[in-house]
Amino acid sequence: MYDWLIVGAGFAGSVLAERLANERNERVLLIDRRSHIGGNAYDRYDDDGLLIHQYGPHIFHTNSKQIVEYLSRFTDWRPYEHRVLAEVDGMLVPIPINLDTVNKLYNLSLTSEELQGWFAERAEKKDEIKTSEDVVVSVVGRELYEKFFRGYTRKQWGLDPSELDKSVTARVPTRTSRDDRYFTDEFQLMPKHGYTRMFERMVRHPNIHVMTQTDYKDVKGLVPHRRVIFTGPIDEYFNFQFGRLPYRSLRFEHVTLNKRWHQPVGVVNYPQTHAYTRITEYKHLTGQDHAKTALTYEFPSAEGDPYYPIPKAENQELFKKYERLALATPDVWFVGRLATYRYYNMDQIVGQALATFRRINESLPVGADTTAVKVVSPSAARIS
Ligand code: FAD
Ligand code: UDP
């Protein structure tokens, strides 16, 4: 009898498997329907020996020392500050929009102070910031919004920014400085030997049995277990009984070129041209020294694996219905980006999983058969 059947071997499932096995000495069956562990953070060596991210670029960044310390048990790190350029009006300029972006694009030589006034003249006043359009036009005005955000967002989400919650484009700030880093978090690191190696060390424990290419629906009635942690799409768990929750998908095109470098930075965004949103060149991220170079093109799509929950009020309402069902389902915990329907980064998922573990540990005596008090709400994701 397993104490836990954990569905999904991404960050949410693997962190919980590790905690339950190590801290409570409980027996865990960790399954994933894919052929590997690591979830969307899975990386692998391609045929030429280049380390690539199977599901698009994953850059670790966080302000939580606790989360870095926790993950450091399973990996060493390589410092990496992510920089992104956008191809706009035929030029490669920094995104997030900063002083150099505006000066280069408009052939100006503004100072930081002057740029503040320049933005203020163009910013559109909004009584309330609600949408992903409002967030940007209220700071930089309509022209830069159209150049950098409108086309990219329509491609990425199949929706106009005016139809998306403000939180989506709010992920990308605007700066009047020359800081061209994509993130400003205190910790910006990449696992030294890749994410998959880190996951392997996390789940290597005599009490954790890992089975890949195994779908929950195929084993739930076969394998005796006391409790479940489900990290897949929550609507799927409940047989879509209230209708499907929309998730956005991507098609990844991985390419290897017979030259050392393709582009000056890890990621180049294409807000105005092409069907793909961005090109990633992994050697910038991994620091690998190799005569060839590996790229990934991302083509957004409505069909395919669920990658992004779509932040929009009506989707959140539908999720709430499923969340109510989840809370009323004893002995099943819902954790992770798909099960809590939140556009979370990796560190936030680690934080959510650790918080869930604490809750389980506080409410459930080791080895007990009793049903624990369960909390599924996003507040579980608070990083303390
Ligand atoms: P997942 O990694 O999605 O894991 C869930 C697993 O459950 C999957 O492997 C799936 O196969 C499995 N599963 C689902 N249903 C079943 C079932 N019925 N039976 C068996 N298995 C099942 N975050 C960052 O911090 N930095 C980044 O740079 C970054 N870049 C990203 C780029 C892209 C293109 C994407 C899509 C995401 C990115 N993220 C990034 C977010 C990051 O991927 C997630 O925060 C994190 O991987 C979520 O972990 P998870 O365990 O919740 O979900
Ligand atoms: N975005 C944009 N243009 C850009 C970069 C981002 O319009 O050049 C918008 C787009 O809607 C995107 C969101 O901002 O989905 C968040 O960007 P981020 O780079 O965080 O996306 P992720 O890496 O999560 O796909």
Is the CB of residue 95 below 6 angstroms from any atom belonging to ligand 2? yes
From the CA of 161, give the closest atom in ligand 2: 11
Q: CA–CA separation, 355 vs 367, rounded Å? A: 20
Q: How many helices (H) does the chain have, and how many strands (E)?
A: 13, 17
Which residues, in sequence order, are CB contacts of 358 under 8 Å at separation 6+?
none
pLDDT at 365: 85
Angle at 27 between CA 24 and CA 30, to 5 degrees: 115
Tokens, residue 56:
């698009």
Q: The whole model's pTM is what?
A: 0.96
Q: Are 234 and 323 in contact (CB under 8 A)?
A: yes
Closest CA to 58 of 191, 158, 170, 203: 191
Is the CB of residue 344 below 6 angstroms from any atom belonging to ligand 2? no
Amino acid at 171: R
pLDDT at 378: 42
Centre of ligand 2 from the C-alpha of residue 192, in Å: 26
Which of 85, 149, 298 has most ligand 2 atoms within 8 Å of its beta carbon, as the pocket-test mutant? Answer: 149
Q: Which domains does the chain have, with CATH numbers?
A: 2-37+203-245+310-381 (3.40.50.720), 97-170 (no CATH)
Nearest ligand for residue 88 CA? 2
If you take atom 13 of ligand 2, which residue's CA is the nearest one?
169
Nearest ligand for residue 278 CA? 2
Is the CB of residue 57 below 6 angstroms from any atom belonging to ligand 2? no
Nearest ligand for residue 352 CA? 1
User: What is the DSSP secondary structure assignment for residue 80, as one 8-state letter?
Assistant: -
Q: Using a 6 Å CB cutoff, which residues line ligand 1?
A: 7-13, 31-34, 39-41, 55-59, 215-216, 231-232, 250, 307, 336-338, 344-347, 349
Is the CB of residue 84 below 6 angstroms from any atom belonging to ligand 2? no
Q: CA–CA separation, 320 vs 117, rounded Å? A: 42
Q: CA–CA separation, 311 vs 321, rounded Å? A: 16
Interhelix angle for 195-203 vs 11-24, to 10°? Answer: 30
Centre of ligand 1 from the C-alpha of residue 260, in Å: 30
Write phi, then psi, for 330 (nearest 5 degrees). Answer: -70, 145
pLDDT at 383: 31
CA count, 13 A, side-chain hemisphere, 18: 21
Low-confidence residues in the chain, pLDDT < 50: 373, 375-384
If you take atom 10 of ligand 2, which residue's CA is the nearest one?
153
Tokens, residue 245:
């929750």
Tokens, residue 166:
């403000």
Is the CB of residue 280 below 6 angstroms from any atom belonging to ligand 2? no
CA count, 13 A, side-chain hemisphere, 361: 15
pLDDT in tens, 138-186: 999 999 999 999 999 999 999 999 999 999 999 999 999 999 999 999 9
pLDDT at 368: 66
From the CA of 236, give the closest atom in ligand 1: 18
pLDDT at 370: 56
Centre of ligand 2 from the C-alpha of residue 330, in Å: 37
308 sits in which H/E element: strand 308-309
Which of 156, 174, 272 has most ligand 2 atoms within 8 Å of its beta carbon, as the pocket-test mutant? Answer: 156
Q: CA–CA separation, 225 vs 30, rounded Å? A: 12
Q: Are 60 and 191 in contact (CB under 8 A)?
A: yes
Q: Are 374 and 349 in contact (CB under 8 A)?
A: no
If you take atom 9 of ligand 2, which residue's CA is the nearest one?
169
pLDDT in tens, 86-109: 999 999 999 999 999 999 999 999
